[in-house]
Structure 1
Amino acid sequence: MDLAAGFPSTSRDDWRALAIAVLRKSGVDAETPEEALSHSTYDGLAVAPLYDAADLPASAPFERGSRPAGGWDVRQRHALPDPEAVMADLENGVTSLWLVVGDGAIPVAELPRVLKGVFLDLAPVVLEAGELTAEAAEALLTLAGDTPLQGNLGASPLSPEAAELAARCAAGHPGLRAVTVDATPYHDAGGGDAEELGCSLALAVAGLRALTAAGLTVQQACDQLEFRYAATDDQFATIAKLRAARRLWDRVTEVTGASGPQRQHAVTSSAMMTGRDPWVNMLRVTVACFAAGVGGADAVTVQPFDAVVRPPDAFSRRIARNTQSLLLEEAGVGRVVDPSGGSWYVERRTEELAGQAWAWFQEIEAAGGIEAAAELVAGRVAATRERRAADLAHRRLPLTGVSEFPDLEEKPLNGASSSGPFLASHSPAALAAGLPKIRYAQEFEELRDLADAQAERPKVFLATIGPVAVHTPRAAFAANLFRAGGLDTETAGPGADPEQIATAFAVSGATVACLCSSDKLYGQHAEAVAAALRRAGARTVWLAGKGDYDGVDGYVHAGCDALGVLRTTFRDLEVTR
């Protein structure tokens, strides 16, 4: 069936001609619409404004996923020995358990109590135990007895116990895997999607070498691996990443002589979570879970919205699991295999991301493998982290409730703290490689914490010039920026008389001011108002907008270094710990 029948034929060139005409009317100076409207990812891939059938690449085996239609495994993470919480999850939609074992989490000796009443042949169990992996795995296997286990023992591909556990699983537990190829630490260190994928391949290949050296066949070794990736609120990036991961792993198995799909576990990103305005995290993880499901993940973990600041409670765990239930049962996201398949944009992005990741994997291998290339990997990830940090600082990458639209009146959650294994944590391999663990919001939140710790909240005086209708847009912009650092603001009200504004400034008790008005009124009054503010004791005078005015120290505008502005303001306000 020709869906375009009866419509005049069009081409990409026709679209280009129409688009460039509109752009030029808008004052955009560009040779092509692609030049004006394209943007690049942190992996250096260009995202074009338009895709058509010419962008559709050839499909690869398993790229579309092997998950049966109907849905994915709903996997909840538990980092505390709470059997009641475990049973509540399993009785209300969760289908597998991810248990964090070790110091500050679930003691190995507590595993029998935590899993009491759990049907281990029906509910897969995935362990995350670090240096205690062998001990935790033994405890789980002993607890199961003759019961056939499902899940994963959580050994790192590079750990000394991986080969022995893999052999035991291959021989006696066909539904149980021994090794988790955890790529999330590369994401949590600030890496891009291609870096996360390439490192996961290198880590997996290192594991294959170790397992086959210990006597397993290549096929047995491949069957022991499960891959863990981060799912973010950039839905198309997540969809493409999971699809590209399957394409890449198929290439590895083809070369090694094995076969079979990649087993994927997607966990909503720790890096994107915020401690401030944590309710917004509900929205972030919903989009990320949707993307993971559409992208074909076999298992998905939604992190509770409050996991940054406290042990998740019954409410936050319920919301996390119900997020998945809603997408599966009400939205029907799992009913169609690879619903984004055939999309020109998604297919092209998958293809290009896979190519970029494969090149990175080859670079790691040429350097001697993932262990030998630790310095190379850390340097590459650091470079991406710095680019992302610059975007966060300039608010090109906005964080709702943190760098944009902060709420200074928000109340902390009950039991809030900043310690504990509540967010998905690093693997031993990542720690050994010297990778940091970051959150995108942390630098803004550190300033918020510092402002909150003061006996009286520091503030900036907004020297509003002219009528309310004139100064309000820039005053609102400036207030939003300063509040992102926890600073309060006070306005002068309507008027343009420098001495009246200076008097209001003196009464406010502030020592930093920001002029807010239109470009026209700046030309008439900015320098006089700045001079009056100086006489009234202003240490720093900002201006909301751009220009060149005597007496003005700096400018706040869209795209400015918001973190730099805030740090300078904190210094001038003499706000210290």
Structure 2
Amino acid sequence: MTAEPPELPLAAAFPDADREQWQHLVEGVLRKSGAAPATGAAAEDALATDLQDGIRIRPLYTAENGTAPLGHPGFPPFVRGGRAEGTTVGGWDVRQRQVQSDPRRANEAVLADLENGSTSVWLAVGDGGVPVSGLAEALRGVYLDLAPIALDAGADFTPAAEGLLRLYTESGVPLGEAVGALGADPLGLLARTGDDSKLRVQLEAAARLAGRCTAEAPGIRALAVDALPYHEAGGSPAEELGASLATGVAYLRQLTQAGLGVDDACRQLEFRYSATADQFLTIAKLRAARRLWARVAEVSGAAPEAAAQRQHAVTSSVMMARRDPWVNMLRTTVAALSAGVGGADAVTVLPFDAALGLSDAFARRIARNTQSVLLEESHLSKVIDPAGGSWYVERLTDELARAGWAFFQEIEGAGGQAAALRSGLIRERLAHTWERRSAELAHRREPITGVSEFPHLAEAPVVREPAPAPVGGGGGGLPRVRRDDAYERLRARSDAHLEAGGERPKVFLAALGPVAVHTARAAFAGNLYQAGGIETVQETVDAQSVAEAFARSGAGIACLCSSDAVYGEQAAAVAAALKAAGARQVHLAGKPGERREEFVTAGVGSFVHVGCDAVEVLSSALDVMEVA
């Protein structure tokens, strides 16, 4: 028998590299970039990035950044997946969402989805979906023994659940073989609406459904632990985790008090999380969620095999843009990939036009095919925990888990999820988080492609039929936010101006000096103004020609674009000429430096540059041009 060959050390011919050598190379890069001088660990720290939840992303991760043992797929703490085989057998569940209020049209969409790649149905029932009385019509022709049905029925979860269970029986599907989810989520409904007048009754009804499912339909989960209300109100990943844990614990208490064993209670819960285009945060969040729930189940006395969290990931509605919605296809592709890599059991990809109303057949087909490509062509489901072992991913998972656990403890200390919602603790925390993130969006430190970056003013809007109003989203419940909210308000002002007067508000870009000198800042300024719906008219000018050029442009305001050196020679004279020619406001692209007073005296009223508050600049510009 041939002896096994020795391992081949691929780097044996090269000397070992250490962190100090790498830091020395970073120092050189920082010097060449013009950044503040730094050495050693300070140089490395200069490349770090701050995220929400107090998490700081380092530029380099090594074995020194390792975490506690992770276990194995299918075993506690389930960081590496809830099942030993992962999604290698059959892939994850491709779960398409249906929000049609017309049962007949909903049925057409359901059948089209199931015939073309979807493996289950997520059906909105009651407010925001088909009426409970139309449930049978919406599912007509669906093979209920093959396609799992997940309900989202809000306050109508009891009659909707009874209707679905009755459909199984009438279709000849034994309840013991049925697979699906009834979606009862009283605390999620409280978060959406702020109405707790029926909370106790709803919790008791949910517990009765869980008892019936345990006894008659063990393949159906009665309760949903939906973290989407907290994400959609502007919450961070850790806040989403903490709120979902607190909700899950509240449901465990309710179910066990109603007589279910803790193992059966755990099996009645399905957790729902958002998946965003930040792939590593999504991957880490899903892995951290399983770890945290495994800890809760362990402390509650659940057996290891009952502690695996069942996860449904939904591509984020917060990240979906209303302008240039085609880019949403790219966002949802990355989000779906992240959900699959993170180990989600079911994944829903929202169609690219979901923010505009009812999705058309093309949008729904692209949403389905996004998952089909990931599963069938990219073979993403064929590897168990593909991100496992990455020092970065493992560290990020650990940090998110700790931050999520801290928020969970805060909620529990306030009396639990219901009490924290009633008191406003959760609402205030999420509002504070969204306020900080809104500042990042306004300063374009978090760019939105097609909206705050590279907008396309001439593109015709995408129009869709209105969708049923979603449950909650205001009043006493948590709000619903979107990343593009501030820019959408600006663009709406521009649209109204266009409709009323036949043209958009305009800014004159006064390009000074040669093309090579002014191009960079003119491109920056053009991108900035168009994000607010302000059309740009650019011309190369000097102090003598600028007045005539400005008059030709039809613009209300102007912006100087050139290099610092040319500004020193021409900016003051050109700005003064623009003010004399009737420019309501003159901006300058770039930071003013030591010449601020000189430029301001000449008539420059604002400076636009990388990191400026774009929303404030644009809003002020529209005000100056009297755009209502």
| TM-score for both structures, normalised by structure 2 | 0.88
- Seen in structure 2, the aligned counterparts of structure 1 residues 469 and 23 have a Cα distance that, compared at 3 Å, is closer
3-state secondary structure, aligned to 1:131:
helix
Partner of 1:441: 484
Letter in 2 for 1:17: H
Relative to structure 1, the CA distance from residue 410 to residue 420 in structure 2 (aligned partners, 3 Å threshold; closer, same or farther) is: farther
Q: Tell me if 1:37 matches 2:37.
A: no
Deviations 1:456-497 (A, max 9, x none): 211111122222222221111111111001110112x2232x
Which AA in structure 2 matches 1:444?
Y
The answer to whether the aligner puts 1:401 opposite 2:450 as a matched pair is yes
Q: How does 1:260-409 map to 2 (within 5 A)?
A: 260-374=307-421, 375-409=424-458
Select between 221-230 and 468-477 the one with higher mean Cα deviation: 468-477
Matched, 1:568 2:587: no
Q: Which amino acid aligns with 2:208?
A: E
Q: CA RMSD in A?
A: 1.6
Whole-angstrom CA distance in 2 between matches of 1:25 and 1:485 = 34
Partner of residue 79, structure 2 = 63
User: What is the CA–CA distance in structure 2 between the aligned matches of 1:228 and 1:431, rounded to whole Å?
Assistant: 21
Q: Is 1:213 matched up with 2:257?
A: yes
Matched, 1:47 2:57: yes
Letter in 2 for 1:300: V
The number of residues matched between the two structures is 568
Q: Is contact 1:156-1:179 (8 Å) kept?
A: yes
The C-alpha deviation readout for 1:124-172, integer Å capped at 9, x for no partner, is 1111111111111111111111523211101015433210111111110
Aligned to 1:152: 181
Correspondence 1:420 to 2:439: no
Q: What is the CA distance between 1:511 and its match in structure 2?
A: 2.0
Taking structure 1 as reference, are residues 433 and 225 closer, same or farther at Cα in structure 2, changes over 3 Å only? farther
For residues 82-93 of structure 1, what are the structure 2 equivalents within 5 Å? 82-93=106-117
Conserved in 2, the CA contact under 8 Å of 1:157 and 1:180?
no
Which structure 1 residue ranges, 4+ long, deviate > 6 Å from structure 2?
A: 430-433
| Counterpart AA for 1:162 | A
Q: Distance in 2 between matches of 1:20 and 1:517?
A: 31
Is the 1:378–1:433 Cα contact (8 Å) retained in structure 2? no
Name the aligned partner's letter for residue 293 of structure 2: W
Q: Kindly provide the CA deviation profile for residues 67-91 of structure 1, in whole angstroms up to 9, marking residues without a partner as x.
A: 3414100000001132111111111
Gaps of 5+ in 2: 1-6, 188-201
- Alpha-carbon contact 1:56-1:342 (below 8 Å) kept: no
| Cα distance, 1:475–1:27 mapped onto 2, change above 3 Å | closer
Name the structure 2 match of 1:116: 140
Q: Is the 8 A contact 2:246 2:411 kept in 1?
A: yes
Superposition TM-score, scaled by structure 1 size: 0.96
The corresponding residue for 1:79 is: 99
TM-aligned CA deviation for residue 212 of structure 1: 1.1
- TM-superposed CA distance for 1:264, in Å, is 0.2
Gap change, CA 1:448 and 1:138, over 3 Å in 2: same
User: CA offset at residue 414 of structure 1?
Assistant: 4.1
The answer to whether the 8 A contact 1:515-1:544 is kept is yes
Q: Please tell me whether the aligned partners of residues 467 and 495 of structure 1 are also in contact (alpha carbons under 8 angstroms).
A: no
Q: Secondary structure at the match of 2:507?
A: strand
- Name the CA shift for 1:465/1:74 in 2 (closer, same or farther; >3 Å): same
Q: Which residue matches 1:176?
A: 220
Residues 20 and 416 (structure 1), Cα distance of their counterparts in 2 relative to 1, 3 Å cut: farther
Distance, in Å, in 1 between the alignment partners of 2:365 and 2:462 is: 17
Which is worse superposed, 559-568 or 363-372? 363-372
Q: Does the residue aligned with 1:373 lie in a helix, a strand or coil?
A: helix
Mapped partners of 1:468, 1:11: distance in 2: 46
Q: Which moved more, 1:472-481 or 1:279-288?
A: 472-481
3, 10, 13: which one aligns with 2:20: 13
| Distance in 2 between residues matched to 1:414 and 1:193, nearest whole Å | 32
In 1: Cα distance, 2:475 partner to 2:618 partner:
34
Whether 1:204 aligns to 2:248 is: yes
Corresponding residue for residue 192 of structure 2 = none
Contact 1:56 1:347 in 2 (8 A): yes
Give the partner amino acid of 2:183.
G
Structure 1 distance, partners of 2:297, 2:10, is 39
Contact 1:157 1:203 in 2 (8 A): no
Q: Deviations over 1:443-467 (max 9, x none)?
A: 1012112211222211111122222
Q: Which residue of 2 aligns with 1:136?
A: 160
SS of the equivalent of 1:520 reads helix
| Structure 1 residues 491-526: Cα deviation after superposition (integer angstroms, max 9, x where no partner) | 2x2232x23101211232222111111111111111
Post-superposition shift, 1:366?
1.0
Q: Out of 77-86 and 406-415, give the one that drifted further.
A: 406-415
Give, in whole Å, the separation in 2 of the partners of 1:518 and 1:23.
Answer: 23
Whole-Å Cα distance in 2 between the matches of residues 504 and 321 of structure 1? 52
Q: Is the 8 A contact 2:155 2:186 kept in 1?
A: no
Rounded to whole Å, the distance in 2 between the matches of 1:338 and 1:157 is: 33
Deviation at 1:121, TM superposition (A): 1.8
Give the C-alpha shift of residue 215 in structure 1. Answer: 1.3
1:538 equivalent in structure 2: 583
Whichever residue aligns with residue 591 of structure 2, its letter is K
Residues 18 and 471 of structure 1: CA distance in aligned 2, closer, same or farther (over 3 Å): closer
Corresponding letter in the other structure for 1:63:
V
Matched, 1:466 2:513: yes
Cα distance change, pair 445–395 in 1 and its aligned pair in 2 (3 A) = same
Give the counterpart letter for 2:47 in structure 1.
Answer: L
Match of 1:527 among 572, 590, 593: 572
Residue deviations 1:40-69 (CA, integer Å, cap 9, x gap): 111111110000112121215211112341
**Secondary structure of 1:371 counterpart:** helix
Task: Give the CA deviation at 1:12.
Answer: 2.0
SS of the residue 2:111 aligns to:
helix
Structure 1 segments unaligned to the other structure (5+ residues): none
**How far off its partner does 1:104 sit?**
4.5
Distance 1:432 1:125 in 2: 31
The CA distance in 2 between the partners of 1:104 and 1:21, in whole Å, is 57
Distance 1:5 1:431, change over 3 A: farther
Report the Cα offset of residue 4 of structure 1.
Answer: 3.9
Q: Distance in 2 between matches of 1:321 and 1:335?
A: 19
* Residues 157, 204 of structure 1: 8 Å contact kept: no
- Confirm or deny that 1:410 pairs with 2:429: no
**Matched-pair identity in %:** 58
The CA deviation string for residues 328-378 of structure 1, in whole angstroms up to 9 with x for no partner, is: 000000001100000111011101111111111111111111111222221
CA distance in 2, matches of 1:245, 1:312: 31
Query: Does 2:541 align with 1:495?
Result: yes
